Amino acid sequence: MTLNELKIGERARITAVGGQGAVRRRLLAMGLTPRTEVFIRKFAPMGDPIEIHLRSYELTIRVEDAEKIEVTKIEE
């Protein structure tokens, strides 16, 4: 499952960050690293970008980038 497949209000743990080169480095630098818990806050009206909460801050990423992030859903 990838980050963009989650629904608003769902929590997940990042298992892998894909992409290559600068894109992957940028995602990792933003704190999207394996074993990090993320929470989907909201989607923009047209569905892109996605606002997520992680590591005590809010982050907005494009759906194209969210497709590169593998996650495991956390059941509550």
Output the domain CATH number for residue 61.
2.30.30.90
Count Cβ atoms within 10 A of the Cβ of residue 66 and give its class: 0-12 exposed, 13-18 middle, 19 or more buried. buried
Adjacency order of strands within the sheet including 37-43: 57-61, 50-54, 37-43, 11-17, 69-74
Spatial distance between the Cα atoms of 72 and 70, rounded to a whole number of angstroms: 7
Q: Which of these, 22, 21, 23, 10, lies nearest to 67 by C-alpha position?
A: 23
In terms of residue numbers, what domain contains 59?
3-74
pLDDT tens for 24-75 read 999 999 999 999 999 999 999 888 899 999 989 999 999 999 999 999 999 8
pLDDT, position 66: 92
| Inter-residue contact 64 to 26 (CB < 8 Å) | no
- Decide if pLDDT at 76 tops 80: no
- Higher per-residue confidence, 5 vs 76: 5
The pLDDT assigned to 47 comes to 81
Q: How many domains does one find in the chain? A: 1
